[in-house]
Amino acid sequence: MKDISILRFLPRLTFHSMRFLKKLRFLKKRKYQEFEQNSWIDYPDDYYEDMQVLDEDSDSDYYDAQLVQNDDEKDDNHDEENDAYIIRPDESQKVYRSVVLRNRLTVLIISDSSAMSSTAAMTVRFGSINDPPDMMGIAHLIEHMLFRGSTENPGENNDFRSFVKMNGGRVFAVTDMEHSGFSFEIDTPYFQAGLKRFAKSFISPLMDVEDLKSEINTINQEWLGWKFRDVARLERLFAHTTHVDHPFHRFTTGNKRSLSNHEPKSVRDAALKLFVKHFVASCMKLVVIGADPVDKLERWVKKYFSELTRGQQINLAFPEYDTHRWKHSLWKHGVSYFLESLEGSQTMKISWILPPVSSTHVNKRPEMFILRLLCDESQGSLSSFFKSKLWITSLRVWSGHESKFSEVESSSYCSTLAGQLFVISMDITDRGWEHKYNMVSYVYQYLNLLKSMDPPQSLPSLIEEFRSLMRMRFQCLDFDSNQLCDPTQFSLALAVNMLKFPVSHAISLDFGYDFGDFEDIKEMLRNFSTKNMRIDFLSKAFTEKGILGKENHFSFTFKEENVPHSYLQRWEIPEETDPGLHLPFRNEMMPTTSLLEVLEEEIVGSSFKSIADKCFYKENKGVLAKASLNIYLDPGQGVIPHMITRIYFEIIKDELSSLLFKAEEGYISTELSIGDDNTIVLELYGHPQRFKYLVASIWDKFKSFEPTPDCFKIITERMKRDFYVNSRDLIHHAHWLLSEAVILVPFTMEDKYGVMKYITFDNLRRLLPALRSEARVVGVFSGSVSKEDCKQITNLFQPFGDFKIQREFETKRALRQDYSYQVFAHPKTETETNSLAKVYFQMGCDEKSDVYNAENVTVFLHLLKAMVTEKVFFNLRLKQGLGYRVGCDRYNQGFYIYVVSPDHNPKDLLIKIHAFVATIPVYLAGVDDETFKRFRSGVNFPDESGMSYDLVDDDSGINGYNVAGLILERMEKDDVVHLYDRFFVKMPSIVEICIGRTFD
């Protein structure tokens, strides 16, 4: 096969000979791939060598022309063989195409005629690893600068983010260790214009010095926002204590100090130099997903992205995974690192560095099988074992690259060419803290259980169970809103996959591994040694002596402690496994029927209908099913019964963790929450076969579980800590203050958590009979679940008791017109240096009026948000630079604007917000008809599937959404201007929230 490489020495090739070469290359790919369901393309090393030689050395215009059509060629000349090897779900109705432009930009194009919006993403083989030592954070700065506009259209309307948001979309950007990613979503009619501007961001970014100063300030504000967060401090500790010569040892985010050692113009010149070197087509991957036909999308791609400089492919500077160099010297052996928590947490993280994900083992990924066993929560698992001893409240495991399109990796260091991190993180109780090193011993017992045993009979069935779940998720990818919940994340994940693996794997990469065989698993387990391990602790306080260190960017103190030698010996020499630890049994939640069978059924319907008492069903064509159940409880009046109910709910939720984990592994996503009206909301989404079994199990547990005093103590302590952590966030704090100002509620957040110190376990035990004797349920179902199953699920909750479901729990407080109701508060923590100002305008609805009734006002608020969101961002953040967290939203028949700032006190921010509000009428009046229609078309009302609260009495709640849609169609710009003038200018009812250290 090496003889193909001699073609690079031939003179300029003819058109026909290059068609032959292209065909030969495609056949060479085909030789090493299998086309069975979920199979993988396993290229040999010489394939990559030959392809690289041909790509780098060929300068033939004819050769490149055959990989992508010229703009003036006909669409039907496209060679579809290039697209055949893109692994996609079997029943996918989307059209896939892979294209390589003549500048060597690889593009994946997906045409989805059913898409409500369109999206594109670009990844660049450039990240914080490329930061110069004296400009840490410059990669992050370049990420911020690229969307500030291009040289083609300078001016106020040049900002790419502004353009996207004005057209019903949003943007996302991220800087990782090895790559940077950029994506956007926009309404389909404006996708072409958005794609053109997106391309110009990478071809000719403006890089204005004044904008650069503004973005350095923004980065510094982001850093200040994270500086006192435990999760960021713990990650910074990881980087700081890694070997000084390793790429992990760097300050990836940057701040004003790290970026201001040079003049702004010098920083700009350095950024441009890095941009010119790295932002070249050969180091970039593009994904385009739109509702337009694939040929049209391809024409746009070629038209707008062919201007990208071809450039030279640059290999990352990361050292290869080297057992001798890094595996045993990345961290200090036998040392634990302690960091004092600012949030009252106690956490232990155990980390190992594993070989990086590569083309040779991407189809096996045995570490993912180990991960699934360690994160299991059923009987015999580490989580269940530790919880039974009351040592932990939660256990999480993650490893390397496993995005599944909807989750961002937990750390920048998780998956790199230097290796992938495998992490076990546990939230530890006070009792568990006393046994922290014993817990590590049990972790090694479980690992040694896998290492030492011959393949048990249950292992093949476990592997097949996991494979079956991944196959099911992959085949349902096009229909699963959980996996495709965020178009910008989905397109970006595909582009990231393409940076390291062939485009054929872009979609299937996170689903197609088979874990290998038992020998592959044992080989991977050899990496879980004590010499390859580090332990990090978040502790409530430093109570023991040790070596103290100082971090140089976050300025925190940490402690190094030698692990007792006796424990190191126990971890290195396999111990006998505790009988309480064993492999999981068969998961009874796994479905036995195929989801794709329902595709053959054509079910048409458009609205919910009552099919039984308090049971509503919507017929539609769907592969997956949804269920939303509201369980109404009546614990009695007062804040103490309410908080006892919430405590019991949290205890039950913790007890159900094993069952809910099994449900997730059986393709049923669950959400459990409780409201201030003592309503438990249970939402299910996924394969409907086990819906009834799952709901019955949850309800049986609720009625029969008897909590213990120890469990009560652990849960109440966790609730207090969670309240503290949430209240220290200024956004959450302001929301609670606003809620208490505009809503007449029986008790405030301070009331609720203030009484917890008076609630005892005996109080809980005495209230349980009442909780279990008074309940009502309303159920809403849609998708592939049958009507009979819906009825049976609802009938599990036989009505008992005689209380009436409370239709409304919260009552809006009527505020005085033309008066500002002010709320002042200090931050909850001494470390908070930011201030917040929030201005809320309440709408005084008049149900007798045809103009000011609640339906009209609701539509107006939706439309107003669509029209001013980008103005808020551009004016308050970009133009005035007030703060990095700015925003606006609807709330309780009102509208608010807020700013979080490290540089301004709250009263100054209030003045700036009111001055901005005064400019809105002129802006609204100047919006042209076409732009207004665009805003109106981008307004979406909530999904109907979770409307059990609105269906307490009848189905009138559904009709409300239909009415809102009709009102929206009729609402004109003059209506918006009139309503704004009434509620924001002439007759405002205002609440002003100020949080800060000082107010003058």
- Tens of pLDDT, residue by residue over 407-427, are 444 566 677 777 888 999 999
Q: What is the mean pLDDT of residues 336-364?
A: 88
Q: What is the mean pLDDT of residues 185-208?
A: 93
Q: What is the mean pLDDT of residues 541-554?
A: 81
Please count the other Cβ atoms lying within 10 Å of the Cβ belonging to residue 379.
Answer: 13
Q: What is the mean pLDDT of the chain?
A: 82
Band (pLDDT 50/70/90 cuts) for residue 17 is very low
Question: Pairing between strand 894-901 and 835-842?
Answer: antiparallel
- Beta pairing partners, 466: none
Q: How far is Cα 835 from Cα 913, in angstroms, rounded to an integer?
A: 14
The residue that leads in pLDDT, 581 or 998, is: 581
- Beta pairing partners, 289: 110, 119
Percent over 70 (pLDDT), the chain: 82
The values of phi and psi at residue 606, to 5°, are -135, -5
At residue 412, the pLDDT reads: 66
At residue 916, the pLDDT reads: 96
> Which range is least confidently modeled, 607-621, 736-750, 912-926?
607-621
Beta strand ranges found along 309-455 (DSSP E)? 335-340, 347-354, 392-399, 415-416, 419-428
Comparing CA positions, the residue from 276, 3, 855 lying closest to residue 268 is 276
- The pLDDT tens digits for 439-491 are 999 999 999 988 877 666 678 888 888 888 888 888 888 888 777 778 898 99
Which residues, including other chains, have CB under 8 Å from residue 991's CB and lie 6 or more apart?
738, 741, 742, 815, 820, 821, 822, 823, 839, 840, 842
At residue 143, the pLDDT reads: 95
The residue that leads in pLDDT, 823 or 934, is: 823
Q: How far is Cα 847 from Cα 537, in angstroms, rounded to an integer?
A: 57
Counting Cα atoms < 13 Å in the Cβ hemisphere of 832 gives 23
Given a cut of 80, is residue 333 above it in pLDDT?
yes
Given a cut of 80, is residue 380 above it in pLDDT?
yes
**pTM for the predicted model, two decimal places:** 0.85
Tokens at residue 506, please?
Answer: 């872009």
Distance of CA 507 to the CA centre of its chain: 18
Q: How far is Cα 100 from Cα 488, in angstroms, rounded to an integer?
A: 22
Given a cut of 90, is residue 173 above it in pLDDT?
yes
Q: What is the mean pLDDT of residues 577-594?
A: 89
Given a cut of 80, is residue 23 above it in pLDDT?
no
Q: What is the mean pLDDT of residues 941-964?
A: 49
The residue that leads in pLDDT, 966 or 804, is: 966
Burial of residue 200 (CB within 10 Å: 0-12, 13-18, 19+) is buried
Please count the other Cβ atoms lying within 10 Å of the Cβ belonging to residue 526.
Answer: 9
> Which range is least confidently modeled, 559-573, 948-962, 973-987?
948-962
Q: What is the mean pLDDT of residues 387-402?
A: 87
> Distance of CA 313 to CAs 268, 294, 343, 408, Å?
23, 28, 45, 27
Given a cut of 80, is residue 302 above it in pLDDT?
yes
> Which range is least confidently modeled, 390-394, 415-419, 974-978?
415-419
